[in-house]
Structure 1
Amino acid sequence: MTGPECSVPEALARMLAACPPLPAETVPLAAGLGRVLAAPVVARQTQPPFAASMMDGWAVRAADVAGAGPDAPVTLRRIGEAAAGHGFAGTVGPGEAVRIFTGAPIPPGADAVVMQEDCRDDGATVRIGRAVGPGRFVRPSGHDFGAGDAVLPAGRRLTSRDVALAAGADVPWLSVHRRPRVAVLATGDEIRLPGEPPAPGRIVSSNAFGLCALVESQGGVALNLGVAPDSAADLAERAAAAAGTDLLVTAGGTAEGDRDFVRSLPGARTPLVDGVAMRPARRLLFAAAGGSRLLALPGNPVSALVAAVLFLRPMLRVLQGLPHEPGPRRFARLDGRLPAGGGRADFPRAALSVDAAGELVVTPLPRQDVALTSAIAAADALIVRPPDAAAAEPGTPVEIIPLAGGCLKL
């Protein structure tokens, strides 16, 4: 190791400091889902742009029907009709009414709508059987928002509801942060791709596929560079394909053995982070120089994915203009016992459930081996155990990091 291990917070702070938000780009509204706004969405029109009827019924002057009731209906002269998209061109005067439908503009002169259930129409006149006050069943212009209003703030990841709001604001284009481009490279002579013929001493590559999926789930664009053999020249050749990306993530080769060559990559000789006081994934490295970034993760699948949750996921967030934390710290009641910790932070994998009282419960998985892809797939959360943590008994509230959740919130 070239220096002392960082704590987890210190390592994360160093990484995030090297990841300012990416520049803005303009995309069509239809491509906005999951993107992060680089500028507010400002309404280009008032919504609704006119006073509109909330009901099917009759547009009237409230003063004309002030004394109406079921047993004493008021008769008004029918002068026309207003439908959605087809307003009434005239003006409603004393003793007059206009047949109106939901969403239609309120005709000039009218100030209320009587529901059709309270009216009887004979073609030439309508009998109004209920009194209404001014504004009844009228949705005023600007009831939702006005032209010039900032309807969505910068720094917001867009949901489908947000896209609908932007469309209603008559905004066809969005200014969003560019999606982070992340190259992922697995290393090791023993690694083969899924579907390739088995061979003695070789195992299937899972890291690159899992890391690429995590990148995509967090709003990034993943480029799988395949597998680099245990050779400094081959590793450098494969890594060169990451040119133009925002981050190169490698898996494996982070130790200092004779067949570990990640440290030979450009920038890796002077890393910002070289080892983190945590388990799993103690042997990781982060370097940033000349606009390129390298996050070198351990090769064990659980170690790689835990480190990706703790460091890669926050980096992807800040590159897109989001705060590195998705929300407030989360806690759950421990179901089981955790022994006292050592000098490093620990992140046991765990399952989440909800008890009969509706309380969130976290249960450590029985198998914590860092090579078990089945165990990390079964986990719903990581339990956060700080360095030198005391033993935790059943029922103790413990901090958790949920593993679920990507950028495509509806």
Structure 2
Amino acid sequence: MNALLGLEDAQARLLALAPKLPPETVPVEAALGRFLAEDLRAARTQPAADLSAMDGYALTPGEGPWRVVGESRAGAPHPAALGSGEAARISTGAIMPAGADRVLLQEDAVREGDSVTATELPPPGRHIRPRGFDFAAGDLLLARGTRVTPARLALALAGGHGMLTVPRRLRVAVMDSGDELSPDPAACLPHQIPASNAAMIATMLAPLGCAVTRIGPVPDDRAALAAALAQADAADVLVTSGGASVGDHDLIKPALADWGAETAFWRVAIKPGKPLLVATRQRDNGGAQVILGLPGNPVSSFVTAFLFALPLVRAALGDPDPLPRTITMIAGEDLPPTEKRREFLRAVVDGDRVRLAGSQDSSALSALAAADALIDRPAGSPTAKAGEAVRVFLLRNG
């Protein structure tokens, strides 16, 4: 039997298979949460003119007093240049009138009729946002691979862009299988459990901006699996849950082979999640398809989706850094030793410490639901004492 792959080796092999998506150009707001397919450069200069940074008076050089000859408001600039000894009332964001070289703050101004004097005279250039201080036309605003957040969306609009180019949405099919799965959680017979893995995985992936279709649950039957797989022909990525192990009723591998898929690798040295399967298939339309077979136990399915499915989808969507990151925290309690596989313990963050969320059984959904972190424990580790530093994946950064 082939040796189990290490986590990083398996992740690298999977990411190398990530589908290459063609670009599409969409309205800026439709690009929210997606990754840029090309560099974005400013089409305009921001600000386009010198602006006042405060409410007050735009002053010409001199010691005062100044004669107030008009006003410059945001969206309604003063129409003429100021002459020597003249000033204009000005509001924050308004264009500085020609001839003015500073802004006198409202609270430092003494106004008497059309005359204004300064109790504290600002130096030249004070309280002015100079033209182009944010960015100039041609400047790089956002690099290819940058994810569009609300602030970056605003930057793109300010830079003169109403449309953005992003990879087209990834088409993902999620399928769960097993004779024990009931599609109705409110109507389970004693030998059944509610089907929850596909819903869990689909809702993990959908926020990344992919189009997710759910299939199943599918019984452990070659013909039923063949019919279900046919529904996934248009998907760029197929994620299955269950049936990837070595039992008599684990039929995903032979069903995928019947469908024309070729196994890229199988089984990873992690716990939970050892029976992970990765395969590829040429679709009927000629495009390559990636199949990720996750274990059926819900915790194993979640952990492998976090470590493999999420990075695969991010990579396909254009994220240049798709893997989840670890931080260092302090163990809030003793952690058990590990054996031959690297273990990911479901845990709860408590300040700068992390403690176990409850049962570490791979079927324990209550502990998984309580967890907001995974403690990363290397294979062959001795007991970690409370107070020791441990590596942690924060699930909210998944």
| TM-score between the two structures when normalised by the length of structure 2 | 0.92
Residue of structure 2 in register with 1:402 after alignment: 394
Q: State whether structure 2 residue 150 is matched by structure 1 residue 165.
A: no
> What letter matches 1:41 in structure 2?
L
CA distance in 1, matches of 2:208, 2:94: 42
Tell me the secondary structure at the aligned position of residue 263 of structure 2: coil
> What letter matches 2:91 in structure 1?
F
Matched positions, count? 391
Tell me the secondary structure at the aligned position of residue 272 of structure 1: strand
CA drift of 1:78 comes to 2.5
CA distance in 2, matches of 1:273, 1:332: 33
Q: State whether structure 2 residue 30 is matched by structure 1 residue 40.
A: no
Tell me the secondary structure at the aligned position of residue 366 of structure 2: helix
1:315/1:324 contact within 8 Å kept = no
Residue of structure 1 in register with 2:23 after alignment: 24
Q: State whether structure 2 residue 290 is matched by structure 1 residue 303.
A: no
C-alpha spacing 1:296/1:327, structure 2 compared with 1 (3 Å): closer
Tell me the secondary structure at the aligned position of residue 271 of structure 1: strand
2:178/2:217 contact within 8 Å kept = yes
CA drift of 1:326 comes to 5.1
CA drift of 1:327 comes to 6.5
Which moves more between the two structures, 130-139 or 371-380?
Answer: 130-139
Residue of structure 1 in register with 2:109 after alignment: 119
> What letter matches 1:353 in structure 2?
D
C-alpha spacing 1:108/1:317, structure 2 compared with 1 (3 Å): same
CA drift of 1:228 comes to 1.0
CA distance in 2, matches of 1:347, 1:56: 56
> What letter matches 1:10 in structure 2?
D
Tell me the secondary structure at the aligned position of residue 397 of structure 2: coil
CA distance in 2, matches of 1:147, 1:54: 21
Q: 2:239 aligns with which of 249, 262, 269?
A: 249
Residue of structure 2 in register with 1:93 after alignment: 83
CA distance in 2, matches of 1:223, 1:280: 26
CA drift of 1:220 comes to 2.8
CA drift of 1:39 comes to 1.3
Q: 1:175 aligns with which of 160, 165, 178?
A: 165
C-alpha spacing 1:84/1:269, structure 2 compared with 1 (3 Å): closer
- Greater RCO, CA 8 A, separation 6+: 1
CA distance in 2, matches of 1:255, 1:327: 26
C-alpha spacing 1:128/1:405, structure 2 compared with 1 (3 Å): same
Tell me the secondary structure at the aligned position of residue 347 of structure 2: strand
Residue of structure 2 in register with 1:10 after alignment: 9
C-alpha spacing 1:112/1:235, structure 2 compared with 1 (3 Å): same
Question: What is the root-mean-square deviation of aligned Cα atoms in Å?
Answer: 2.0
- Deviation string for 1:197-230 (max 9, x for gaps)? 3324111011011000111233433211121111
Q: 2:279 aligns with which of 278, 281, 287?
A: 287
CA drift of 1:123 comes to 4.0
Tell me the secondary structure at the aligned position of residue 80 of structure 1: strand
Residue of structure 2 in register with 1:210 after alignment: 200
1:187/1:229 contact within 8 Å kept = yes
2:169/2:210 contact within 8 Å kept = yes
CA distance in 2, matches of 1:55, 1:221: 46
CA drift of 1:164 comes to 1.4
Q: Percent identity?
A: 39
- Deviation string for 1:301-346 (max 9, x for gaps)? 1111111111112112211222445565312111222333211221
Which moves more between the two structures, 366-375 or 216-225?
Answer: 216-225
Residue of structure 2 in register with 1:337 after alignment: 334
Residue of structure 2 in register with 1:386 after alignment: 378
- Deviation string for 1:7-52 (max 9, x for gaps)? 2222212111111553322111112221111112211111110011
CA distance in 2, matches of 1:42, 1:302: 44
The correspondence of residues 101-112 of structure 1 with structure 2, limited to 5 A, is 101-112=91-102
> What letter matches 1:351 in structure 2?
V
Tell me the secondary structure at the aligned position of residue 136 of structure 1: coil
CA distance in 2, matches of 1:252, 1:301: 9
Runs (5+) with no aligned partner, structure 1: 66-73, 355-359
Q: State whether structure 2 residue 343 is matched by structure 1 residue 372.
A: no
CA drift of 1:122 comes to 4.0
Q: 2:254 aligns with which of 239, 251, 264?
A: 264
Which moves more between the two structures, 306-315 or 384-393?
Answer: 384-393
Q: 1:190 aligns with which of 160, 174, 180?
A: 180
Which moves more between the two structures, 33-42 or 327-336?
Answer: 327-336
C-alpha spacing 1:380/1:128, structure 2 compared with 1 (3 Å): closer
Q: State whether structure 2 residue 235 is matched by structure 1 residue 238.
A: no
| TM-score between the two structures when normalised by the length of structure 1 | 0.90
Q: 2:133 aligns with which of 121, 130, 143?
A: 143
Q: State whether structure 2 residue 74 is matched by structure 1 residue 84.
A: yes
Residue of structure 2 in register with 1:318 after alignment: 315
C-alpha spacing 1:288/1:79, structure 2 compared with 1 (3 Å): same
Tell me the secondary structure at the aligned position of residue 396 of structure 2: coil
Which moves more between the two structures, 105-114 or 122-131?
Answer: 122-131
Residue of structure 1 in register with 2:285 after alignment: none
CA distance in 2, matches of 1:315, 1:52: 46
Q: State whether structure 2 residue 233 is matched by structure 1 residue 274.
A: no
Runs (5+) with no aligned partner, structure 2: 283-287
